[in-house]
Chains A and B, each alone.
Chain A
């Protein structure tokens, strides 16, 4: 599968920040709705994944500096469904280069979705994480980076 048509900056962004399709789609959801905060339940509903998985992706995005957790007061105001009291998160690129890369990635995902997905799965394995994951008794072949 050739990856022409995808710019180098997008490839670099994927290699640095994106480790799964779920993470990519979470990021793009946050990015499309910049002024809106999302809880794990919201993400889980939109992407049709489990809430725990959504929580993992949000935490990973916060850890890599692409998202921030909103303050509790703002979170309380923004609750979309009753009973959804979990922490809420918002897209926060930190610098204009990252924002430009995210926009480019969003466009690439729109027009060359299969290629982008291929790039995500073609990432070389993270050796440090491999060390940590080795200690799981029951191995999972998912590529999502669990936190903790």
Chain B
């Protein structure tokens, strides 16, 4: 069940990244650049969660928690920066 959720979340994030990226390409508004990057990284985070569940379940020595956390943190830092700095 969790695997399905994370794939759906990854797809939704990718869709948002595409829409925001396309708009940035057209308008060059920097708020869109930061949001695009945020949703790209959120997609990566969700994919890592999926990998953590399916490809590297708990008994595995590969621990994805640190990369997951760092990617998630980076995503939100970019978003919050963009929403504050570039919202006029």
User: In the complex, which residues 109-148 of chain A have their Cβ closer than 8 Å to any Cβ of chain B?
Assistant: 125-128, 130-131, 133-135, 137, 139
Are B35 and A130 in contact, with the CB atoms below 8 A? no
Are B23 and A133 in contact, with the CB atoms below 8 A? yes
Known contacts A127-B87, A128-B88, A135 near B32 by CB under 8 Å: no
Min distance, Cβ A47 to any Cβ of chain B, angstroms? 28
> In the assembled complex, which residues on chain B have CB atoms less than 8 Å from the CB atom of A126?
88
How many Å lie between the Cα of A139 and that of B26 in the bound state? Answer: 10
B73 within 8 A of A: no
Are B88 and A127 in contact, with the CB atoms below 8 A? yes
B16 within 8 A of A: yes
Number of interface residues, chain A, beta carbon within 8 A: 11
B31: which of A127, A135, A139 is its contact (CB, 8 Å)?
A127
Known contacts A134-B19, A135-B16, A125 near B35 by CB under 8 Å: no
> In the assembled complex, which residues on chain A have CB atoms less than 8 Å from the CB atom of B27?
125, 130
User: In the complex, which residues 27-70 of chain B have their Cβ closer than 8 Å to any Cβ of chain A?
Assistant: 27, 29-32, 35
> In the assembled complex, which residues on chain B have CB atoms less than 8 Å from the CB atom of A135?
16, 19-20
How many Å lie between the Cα of A137 and that of B19 in the bound state? Answer: 7
Residue-by-residue, is B77-88 near A (CB-CB < 8 Å gives 1, otherwise 0)? 000000000111
> In the assembled complex, which residues on chain B have CB atoms less than 8 Å from the CB atom of A130?
23, 27, 29, 31-32
Are B88 and A134 in contact, with the CB atoms below 8 A? no
Q: List chain B positions with a Cβ less than 8 A from chain A.
A: 16, 19-20, 22-24, 26-27, 29-32, 35, 86-88
Q: List chain A positions with a Cβ less than 8 A from chain B.
A: 125-128, 130-131, 133-135, 137, 139
4 closest A-B pairs (Cβ-Cβ)?
A134-B23, A130-B29, A127-B31, A134-B20
